[in-house]
Amino acid sequence: MIAAEAARARLSAELERVAQGDKAALRTVYDLTSAKLLGICLQFLPDRAIAEDVLQEVYLKVWQGAATFDPQRASPITWLCMIARNRAIDWRRASGRYEAVLQSAADELPIESAEADTDERHRLLHQCLDMLETERRASIRAAFMEGFTYSELAARASVPLGTMKSWVRRGLLQLRKCIEDA
């Protein structure tokens, strides 16, 4: 019990230093908790690469929100695990929504025959894609037609991961609206 209390106190102190902008403290928090938090992400996500991307987002959220940690309400590891769990669930939900948006938009097209259906859906999809802003169009094509991950796309475009996710999300919403309005 003494070791657990010492570990809790140390992690709380490090989070307090993170709240003050101490990058070394964030590194310490990462070193102390990353294995456990990665395990949590892997429980909810389909593969390790995605879980590692989400884990990066977890520590970004810790960096931005360490000042909200209250040791009177939760232990530091509980607080960190909650962030990891929520980010992993958010990613999983969002990923399913993107696929569902494309599928439901394609399913709503009123076409008579199966062959004409496929041809018309492809034509309309490409027509609507061509109407998107360049960044959004390229990001959606690379993600959904070439299989790139958000992290890979962000690196290729030299933008933050959150920006890339926003481009894709907004592009998909515009794409759905275009298909629905057709």
Cβ atoms 34, 55 nearer than 8 A: yes
Q: In total, how many domains does the chain have? A: 2
Q: Report CA 137 to chain centroid distance, whole Å.
A: 19
Residues 136, 72 within the same domain:
no
Instruction: State both tokens at 34.
Output: 């990353």
36 in a structural domain: yes
Question: H/E element holding 68?
Answer: none
97 in a structural domain: no
- Cα–Cα dist 59/180, whole Å: 38
Encoded amino acid at 31, one letter: D
Those residues of the chain that have pLDDT short of 50 are 98, 111-114
Residues 165, 86 within the same domain:
no
φ/ψ (deg, to 5) at 16: -65, -40
CATH number at residue 48: 1.10.1740.10
The number of residues making up the chain comes to 182
Instruction: State both tokens at 94.
Output: 């969002």
Residues 61, 134 within the same domain:
no
The answer for residues whose C-beta is within 8 angstroms of residue 130's C-beta and 6 or more apart is 137
For residue 69, the model assigns a pLDDT of 93
For residue 132, the model assigns a pLDDT of 82
Query: Which residue range forms the structural domain that includes residue 71?
Result: 2-90
Residues 129, 66 within the same domain:
no
Domain boundary among 90, 116, 139: 90
Residues 57, 114 within the same domain:
no
CATH number at residue 176: 1.10.10.10
For residue 104, the model assigns a pLDDT of 60
Residues 114, 81 within the same domain:
no
Domain boundary among 90, 125, 153: 90
117 in a structural domain: yes
Residues 79, 32 within the same domain:
yes
For residue 174, the model assigns a pLDDT of 86
98 in a structural domain: no
For residue 163, the model assigns a pLDDT of 83
66-103 pLDDT, tens digit each? 999 998 988 999 999 999 998 988 887 777 654 555 56
100 in a structural domain: no
Encoded amino acid at 124, one letter: L
Residues 23, 81 within the same domain:
yes
Residues 123, 78 within the same domain:
no
- Cα–Cα dist 109/120, whole Å: 9
- Cα–Cα dist 56/151, whole Å: 10
